[in-house]
Amino acid sequence: MNLASRGIRPNKPKHTIGVYSIITTMAHTTKEKDKLLVRVRRIRGQVDAIERALESEEECTSVLQLMAACRGALNGLMAEVMEGHVRFHVLSPENRKNSPQARAAEELIEVVRAYLK
């Protein structure tokens, strides 16, 4: 018996929960990969700036300012990935419009974004 006859599409990850099989679609991080990698590279540049500031014995206020900027950038990245996770993995496709679950997900996303600022 081949994969297609068992309802499994090639190149799609298959997850099993109990006796239920779930075929998942492309992850949101894959869809947004280029944008996320740009952010990661920017964060890497900020970390490199912190390292250079420490090596050159800059004033602690300058180092702290660089660290705060880096933390802000990392928090922004985390908020973006978390938002995608909630939208694409927590909500079911039929609940992505104006359902109570969709409104609750939007509230959660807003709270997480506010917390990570």
Which DSSP symbol is given to 64?
H
> Looking at residue 21, what is its pLDDT?
44
For 65-89, write each residue's pLDDT tens digit.
Answer: 999 999 999 999 999 999 888 888 8
Cα angle 56-58-60, degrees, rounded to a multiple of 5 = 140
pLDDT band at 60 (very low <50, low <70, confident <90, very high): very high
Domain boundaries, position 78 = 4-116
27 phi and psi angles, rounded to 5 deg: -65, 150
- Structural domain tally of the chain? 1
32 phi and psi angles, rounded to 5 deg: -105, 20
The CATH number of the domain holding residue 93 is: 1.20.58.1000
Helix (H) or strand (E) holding 20: strand 20-23
pLDDT band at 102 (very low <50, low <70, confident <90, very high): confident
Helix (H) or strand (E) holding 101: helix 100-116
